[in-house]
Amino acid sequence: MTDLRAVITDLDGTLLNDRGYVHPDDLKTLSKLREHGVRTLIATGRHPDLFRFYLPRLGPMDAVVACNGTLLYDPSRDAGEVLDQFTAGQLERLDRFCRREGLYFNYYTSASPYFCRRDPRLSADGRSVEMHKNFFIRSGIRSYEEWKGMPEEPVVKASIPTLLPEQMDRLRGEFGDLTLELYHSPCCVEMEPPDCGKGPGLKKAAQRLRFPLEKTLVIGDSSNDISMFRAAGFAAAPANVSPEAEPYIAYRGTDNNHAPITDIVRHFAPELLR
């Protein structure tokens, strides 16, 4: 029996199945956890505009560590607290790199995600972004034609959706001072300010909500979850966990299509499901 005070789950590849939906058993498990007084949170690389529509189904989540730890979102107030942000110089460097390499980047401010008009996931009206197979998000995603300097709101995250392996190597060499989340299939990168990540974001959430990290279970599937695996007392993943993240977990549950949150909670604290 494990004395859990909080359960934090990643979204894509963990709580969400391959079609972008949540298993009914996992919805029941989240509800059961709250009945037992356990805090429930999400930790995701997404911006609130790209996950807000899920929240009514999930029930009253305590908080969301968003944009890979740079934004702490309060669902009850529909408001986000900026935990860190890029400087103008850092974004100018990124713009110069992308122009030189023939790439484009998307960026996320505290208020909205901005997708470059060249991003093939944008529909003709710039409002629909394909995030899963045949699954579309319809929200007010803004697009931009060309980077023209800092927007009014703080920029908390940037991403380069497609680049070649050799470009990724050059990016790593030039931006070692930033937090880089590298994905190799396909090659893409998410970028945050220095010393950011889900782990630091989780620590700040624990301070705000007053739950002990040593009694916290975190669940994720990818390399951007490693920092929160290290920060919490208990770490687990669905069966589809990436090779980079697997060494940091204590338990591997069912895959993201078969209610992994329920399986993992049953492993660590079965009494919470009664």
Which pTM does this prediction carry?
0.91
β pairing state of 39-43 and 63-66: parallel
pLDDT band (50, 70, 90) for residue 122: low
Task: Tell me if 19 sits within 8 A of 132, measured CB to CB.
Answer: yes
Query: What is the pLDDT at residue 141?
Result: 67
Question: In whole angstroms, what is the distance from residue 213 CA to residue 200 CA?
Answer: 12
Minimum mean pLDDT range among 28-37, 78-87, 158-167, 182-191: 182-191
Helix (H) or strand (E) holding 106: strand 106-109
pLDDT band (50, 70, 90) for residue 259: very high
Instruction: Give the distance from CA 51 to its chain's centroid.
Output: 10
Amino acid at 87: T
Instruction: Give the distance from CA 232 to its chain's centroid.
Output: 16
Provide the b/e sequence for 74-91 (b: ≥16 CB within 10 Å). bbeeeebeebbbbeeebb
Return the closest-CA partner of residue 217 out of 157, 172, 260, 155. 260
- pLDDT beyond 90 at 55: yes
pLDDT band (50, 70, 90) for residue 187: confident
